[in-house]
Amino acid sequence: MKKLRRSARLVDMTQHLLAHPHTLIPLTLFSDQYGAAKSSISEDLSIIKEAFEGEGIGLLKTVAGAAGGVKYIPLTPRDQAARFTKELIEQLEKPERLLPGGYLYMSDILGDPATLSIIGKMFASAFAEADPDVVMTVETKGIPLAYATASHLNVPVVIVRRDNKVTEGSVVSINYVSGSSKRIQTMSLARRALAEQSRVLIIDDFMKAGGTIQGMIDLLQEFRAKVVGCGVLVETADASERLIDDYISLAKLKDVDIKEKQIEIELGSYFPREGNE
């Protein structure tokens, strides 16, 4: 049991809440830990709640009753999300990022912990009410985004493989048609990786026609799992052959002029339409 001054107790409680998002924490845990009355802990939580909401950190929900407590819900205010994404778009529109086939070089962005944390929190905000059991992605570039999102939702990550590995044990494999290349490809998921009837949030880095995400959705049927949301960092604007329509994107690649090396990107469906104008 710690005996701390109130200022130190507030810092310690705040750190605990931030480290355990979407987790119901009984007031007795704090009360026993700091040797303080529940009434004092409630007052402390009111201060933290006001600070969280005032600074746009998230919500602090109180659950009444004997089995109740407090739960921290990470949320990103829409204006903060828009400012961040516009700055991200400026980086993505640099001509040197253009790759053959109209793809963008994003490995540096997907390797930056601070940027990933913000993106992960944005996805966690968008799907906060979806109550997923796991976050799913397909190897390889979507993995950092999936982990960043899962850290703010406090759920595990499930990774779909493009080939079988002996270390995965028994797997479920399906063939799917890539929406952009029209090629038949294979993806696999270990049977032990996902419990049946799980609620799954799919996160990926880039989407053209959506063939990979549709493949994951089809694969999840083998586990009788439910897809509760799909989020992508960047989508292409050409939706003429789009295989899925229920998803959220942070940015939309509108036009690529390979000859002139010009890239045009706008805010994605994460934001209200007026945000794109």
**What 3-state class would DSSP assign to 36?**
coil
Residue 232 dihedral angles phi and psi, to the nearest 5°? -130, 145
CA separation for the pair 149, 103 (Å, rounded): 23
Prediction pTM value: 0.91
CA separation for the pair 107, 182 (Å, rounded): 25
- The residues near 82 (Cβ < 8 Å, ≥ 6 apart) are 267, 271, 275
What pLDDT is stored for residue 1 in this prediction? 56
Residue spans of beta strands (DSSP E) within 5-84: 58-63, 69-74
What domains can be seen in the chain, in order of their start residue?
6-74 (1.10.10.10), 78-276 (3.40.50.2020)
CA separation for the pair 70, 248 (Å, rounded): 29
pLDDT for 44-84, tens place per residue? Answer: 999 999 999 999 999 999 988 777 799 999 999 999 999 99
Residues in the chain, pLDDT under 50: 275-277
What pLDDT is stored for residue 257 in this prediction? 87
